[in-house]
């Protein structure tokens, strides 16, 4: 499972002019492993940047799973052997990280077998996302044309069995295997939500193909529409009647999912710490809301009322959204440079406003990382959802006070800066991909918000507090939903009533905890706490550190989990502000 998640967390890495011996060896192993996995999961190779996989795709089935199991077993033996004879500190760490990835995927296979996971495919969404990765504003014409070949492969693979038929057959196979054993069906709401969105994805696929520069896809598209209807009918008739009515994952699955994200604490520890920290920050949040209410002569001074007042200043058109977020990016760039917070990338931040289908698939502003291998100038891309109807999916991100904090998170000094740094100052492929988890990615983005918060105006700071409370709420609500402590009603109450997030977004948060990404939500605050603890340890060792130097040094480790960075503490000694003797 972690290997599939790697694709959603990729960052680019250019080829260094001079590489140390350990780095050359590490990258050689990483590329071999990546290509072996990509032979089974071509979309993974394509995301990584291996263009030879752009024109092909996955064909689900037991044979594919058998190939993966055999491959993982072989790589486990090989990496274990390499670790035994490796002396170099850096190379040894990289091999251990990759071995952990392999062993983790083996554990997932065993766990899914134990609980009897039933396979099903969100066919239209799967095809849309894997064409969208090739057909976008930054893609070359070659990759856009290759996307049509991938689409043709999906609709009529080499074995003459198309993707959707193969998916249905594999689902039937997993059901047949569990006839006399316990089985674990998907959560009912997850299936229903896909079925609701499926027509939008079908339309989105056509729109993407029209942008490919080719016209030889019409007959395959007609087949695609037909096959999606068959797949969705299968889900309604076979999967839905037996789907789980509770969002709760099996205990072992949830706890392993936390570890997968980089969270090494038990659910009850997250809940206890999260609720305590939430109430502590809420006092500052309420006090600032009252200050703004007094300044603006508002009758109601509670956070909900004040934020509802700020939300009245909405923008709706794609042009206005683009202007809003580009202005926020310019303002943040000046804050970063004027206050010497961190070294900025050479290239400008890219902000793009998404269309309807893409906004439906990803309704929250987010960053799209560039490919890893053979990058030909593709940059990270900050994407802002929109709506052609003039009514945005949520009103939480489309007003001035919200744009600055969100751009700090997704843009600079947040995610874009992480990924841009690795374009300009590469680390090993293992550290920029396979070491990456939600904690070290999202932790930096929250830390980035901390860096700029002192320089924001009161309105911007109030929304920054709101966003911080949002992430702390995730720290305890996600495990509470999975432990059966909190319901949908409680999730919506905390997010909507207490911190003034829209009801629609509060509902999306519940979906996140229950089936979209259970166990991922606590990673934001966990990562921030890790960075704070790391900085505290470094200052305990070397005294007060220059902030810009510390931040640049932290970014230089790429996707390396925080728990490993302290082993390289000497890299931070240069940041000490102690006077020379």
Angstrom CA distances, 282 to 219, 224, 447, 469, 528, stand at: 57, 50, 19, 7, 18
Among the residue ranges 175-189, 374-388, 455-469, the one predicted with the least confidence is 374-388
C-alpha neighbours within 13 Å on the C-beta side of residue 217: 27
Among the residue ranges 74-78, 134-138, 149-153, 284-288, the one predicted with the least confidence is 134-138
For residue 536, the model assigns a pLDDT of 96
CA dist 280 and 262 (Å) reads 25
Q: Is the pLDDT at 182 greater than 80, yes or no? A: yes
% the chain with pLDDT above 90: 81
CA dist 351 and 358 (Å) reads 15
Query: Where does the pLDDT of residue 15 fall: very low under 50, low under 70, confident under 90, or very high at 90 and above?
Result: very low
Element at 246 (helix H, strand E): none
Residues making up the chain, counted from first to last: 581
For residue 341, the model assigns a pLDDT of 98
Burial pattern 399-438, b for ≥16 Cβ within 10 A else e, equals bbbbbbbbbbbbbbbbbbbbbbbbbebbbbbbbbbbbbbb
CA dist 450 and 433 (Å) reads 25
Query: Where does the pLDDT of residue 518 fall: very low under 50, low under 70, confident under 90, or very high at 90 and above?
Result: very high
For residue 138, the model assigns a pLDDT of 80
Q: Average pLDDT of 354-359?
A: 76
Query: Where does the pLDDT of residue 364 fall: very low under 50, low under 70, confident under 90, or very high at 90 and above?
Result: confident
On whether the CB atoms of residues 147 and 216 are closer than 8 A, the answer is no
For residue 386, the model assigns a pLDDT of 79
For residue 316, the model assigns a pLDDT of 75
For residue 319, the model assigns a pLDDT of 85
Element at 382 (helix H, strand E): strand 381-384
Over residues 192-214, the pLDDT tens digits come to 999 999 999 999 999 999 999 99
Closest residue by Cα to residue 307 from 327, 325, 286:
286
Q: Average pLDDT of 29-39?
A: 96
For residue 10, the model assigns a pLDDT of 37
Query: Where does the pLDDT of residue 158 fall: very low under 50, low under 70, confident under 90, or very high at 90 and above?
Result: low
- Give CA torsion, residues 91, 93, 97, 99, to 10 deg: 70
On whether the CB atoms of residues 549 and 574 are closer than 8 A, the answer is yes
In this structure, the number of other CB atoms found within 10 A of the CB of residue 166 comes to 20
Q: Which string of DSSP letters, residue by residue, matches 463-524?
A: HHHHHHHHHHHHHHHHHHHHHTSS-HHHHHIIIIIIT---HHHHHHHHHIIIIISTTTTTHH
The whole-model pTM stands at: 0.90
Q: Is 576 helix (H, G, I), strand (E, B) or coil?
A: strand
R_g of the chain, CA atoms, integer Å? 24
Over residues 212-252, the pLDDT tens digits come to 999 999 999 999 999 999 999 999 999 999 999 999 999 99
Instruction: Please give the structure tokens belonging to residue 386.
Output: 């929109």
Element at 384 (helix H, strand E): strand 381-384
DSSP category for residue 431: I
For residue 385, the model assigns a pLDDT of 85
Q: Is the pLDDT at 57 greater than 60, yes or no? A: yes
Average pLDDT, the chain: 92
For residue 392, the model assigns a pLDDT of 73
Q: Average pLDDT of 472-494?
A: 97
- Which residues are registered as beta bridge partners of 545? 576
Query: Where does the pLDDT of residue 11 fall: very low under 50, low under 70, confident under 90, or very high at 90 and above?
Result: very low
CA dist 287 and 303 (Å) reads 9
Instruction: Please give the structure tokens belonging to residue 62.
Output: 């037991």
% the chain with pLDDT above 70: 95
For residue 387, the model assigns a pLDDT of 72
Query: Where does the pLDDT of residue 578 fall: very low under 50, low under 70, confident under 90, or very high at 90 and above?
Result: confident
Instruction: Please give the structure tokens belonging to residue 27.
Output: 């990258």
Closest residue by Cα to residue 201 from 232, 177, 176, 246:
232
In the block, tokens 């932790």 appear at: 443
- Which residues are registered as beta bridge partners of 383? 352, 366
Q: What proportions of the chain, in percent to the nearest 5, are helix, strand and coil?
A: 65, 5, 30
Q: Average pLDDT of 47-57?
A: 92
CA 306 to chain centroid: 31
CA dist 406 and 452 (Å) reads 11
Q: Is the pLDDT at 5 greater than 80, yes or no? A: no
**Side-by-side strand order, sheet with 366-368:** 351-353, 381-384, 366-368
CA dist 44 and 301 (Å) reads 50
Over residues 488-506, the pLDDT tens digits come to 999 999 999 999 999 999 9
Instruction: Please give the structure tokens belonging to residue 14.
Output: 């250019």
Strand 366-368 and strand 381-384: the pairing is antiparallel
Q: Is the pLDDT at 3 greater than 80, yes or no? A: no
For residue 8, the model assigns a pLDDT of 36
Q: Is the pLDDT at 277 greater than 60, yes or no? A: yes
CA dist 185 and 115 (Å) reads 10
Q: Average pLDDT of 364-389?
A: 81
For residue 355, the model assigns a pLDDT of 76
CA dist 181 and 403 (Å) reads 51
For residue 119, the model assigns a pLDDT of 94
- Give CA torsion, residues 464, 465, 468, 470, to 10 deg: -100
On whether the CB atoms of residues 415 and 326 are closer than 8 A, the answer is no
On whether the CB atoms of residues 333 and 412 are closer than 8 A, the answer is yes
Name the burial class of residue 53, with classes exposed (0-12), middle (13-18) and buried (19+) by CB atoms within 10 angstroms of its CB: buried
On whether the CB atoms of residues 374 and 343 are closer than 8 A, the answer is no
CA dist 431 and 428 (Å) reads 5
For residue 165, the model assigns a pLDDT of 95
On whether the CB atoms of residues 468 and 281 are closer than 8 A, the answer is yes
- Which residues are registered as beta bridge partners of 187? 244
Query: Where does the pLDDT of residue 1 fall: very low under 50, low under 70, confident under 90, or very high at 90 and above?
Result: very low
Instruction: Please give the structure tokens belonging to residue 437.
Output: 């988890």
Closest residue by Cα to residue 93 from 494, 563, 473:
563
For residue 446, the model assigns a pLDDT of 97
Give the residue ranges of DSSP H helices in 7-140.
Answer: 21-40, 42-48, 62-85, 89-115, 123-132
Q: Average pLDDT of 518-546?
A: 97
The residue among 248 and 354 whose pLDDT is bigger is 248
Closest residue by Cα to residue 58 from 171, 132, 167:
167
């Amino acid at each position: 499972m972690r290997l599939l998640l790697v694709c959603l967390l990729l960052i680019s890495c250019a080829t260094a002019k001079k590489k140390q011996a350990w780095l050359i060896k590490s990258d050689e192993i990483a590329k071999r492993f990546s290509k072996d996995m990509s032979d089974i999961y071509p979309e993974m190779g394509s995301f990584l940047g291996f263009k030879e996989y752009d024109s092909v795709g996955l064909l689900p089935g037991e044979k594919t799973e058998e190939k993966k199991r055999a491959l993982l077993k072989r790589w486990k033996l090989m990496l274990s052997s390499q670790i035994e004879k490796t002396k170099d500190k850096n190379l040894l760490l990289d091999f251990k990280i990759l071995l952990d990835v392999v062993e983790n995927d083996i554990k997932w296979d065993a766990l899914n077998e134990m609980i009897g996971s039933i396979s099903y495919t969100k066919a239209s969404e799967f095809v849309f996302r894997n064409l969208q990765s090739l057909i976008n504003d930054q893609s070359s014409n070659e990759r856009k044309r290759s996307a049509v070949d991938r689409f043709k492969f999906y609709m009529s693979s080499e074995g003459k069995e198309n993707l959707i038929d193969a998916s249905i057959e594999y689902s039937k196979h997993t059901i047949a295997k569990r006839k006399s054993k316990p089985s674990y069906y998907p959560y009912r709401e997850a299936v229903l939500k896909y079925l609701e969105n499926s027509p939008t994805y079908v339309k989105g696929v056509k729109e993407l193909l029209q942008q490919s520069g080719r016209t030889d896809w019409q007959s395959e598209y007609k087949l695609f529409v037909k096959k999606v209807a068959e797949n969705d009918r299968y889900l309604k008739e076979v999967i839905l009647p037996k789907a789980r009515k509770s969002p709760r994952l099996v205990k072992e699955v949830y706890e392993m999912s936390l570890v997968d994200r980089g969270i090494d604490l038990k659910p009850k520890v997250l809940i206890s710490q999260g609720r305590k920290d939430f109430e502590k920050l809420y006092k500052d949040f309420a006090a600032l809301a009252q200050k703004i209410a007094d300044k603006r002569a508002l009758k109601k001074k509670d956070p909900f009322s004040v934020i509802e007042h700020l939300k009245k200043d909405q923008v709706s058109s794609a042009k206005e959204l683009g202007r809003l977020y580009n202005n926020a990016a310019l303002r943040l760039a000046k804050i970063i440079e004027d206050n010497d917070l961190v070294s900025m990338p050479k290239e400008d931040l890219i902000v793009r406003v998404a269309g309807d289908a893409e906004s439906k698939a990803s309704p929250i502003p987010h960053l799209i990382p560039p490919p890893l291998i053979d990058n030909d100038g593709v940059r990270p891309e900050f994407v802002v959802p929109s709506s052609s109807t003039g009514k945005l999916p949520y009103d939480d991100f489309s007003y001035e006070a919200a744009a600055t904090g969100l751009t700090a998170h997704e843009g600079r000094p947040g995610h874009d800066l992480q990924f841009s740094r690795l374009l300009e100052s590469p680390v090993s492929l293992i550290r920029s991909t396979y070491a990456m988890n939600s904690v070290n990615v999202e932790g930096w983005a929250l830390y980035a918000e901390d860096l700029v918060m002192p320089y924001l105006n009161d309105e911007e700071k109030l929304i920054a507090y709101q966003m911080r409370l949002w992430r702390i709420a995730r720290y305890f609500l996600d495990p509470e939903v999975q432990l059966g402590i909190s319901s949908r009603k409680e999730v919506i109450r905390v997010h909507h009533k207490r911190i003034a997030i829209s009801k629609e977004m509060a509902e999306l948060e519940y979906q996140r905890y229950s089936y979209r990404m259970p166990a991922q939500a606590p990673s934001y605050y966990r990562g921030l706490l890790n960075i704070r603890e790391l900085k505290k340890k470094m200052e305990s060792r070397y005294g007060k550190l220059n902030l810009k130097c510390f931040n640049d040094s932290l970014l230089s480790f790429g996707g390396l989990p925080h728990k490993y960075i302290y082993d390289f503490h000497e890299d931070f000694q240069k940041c000490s502000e102690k006077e020379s003797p």
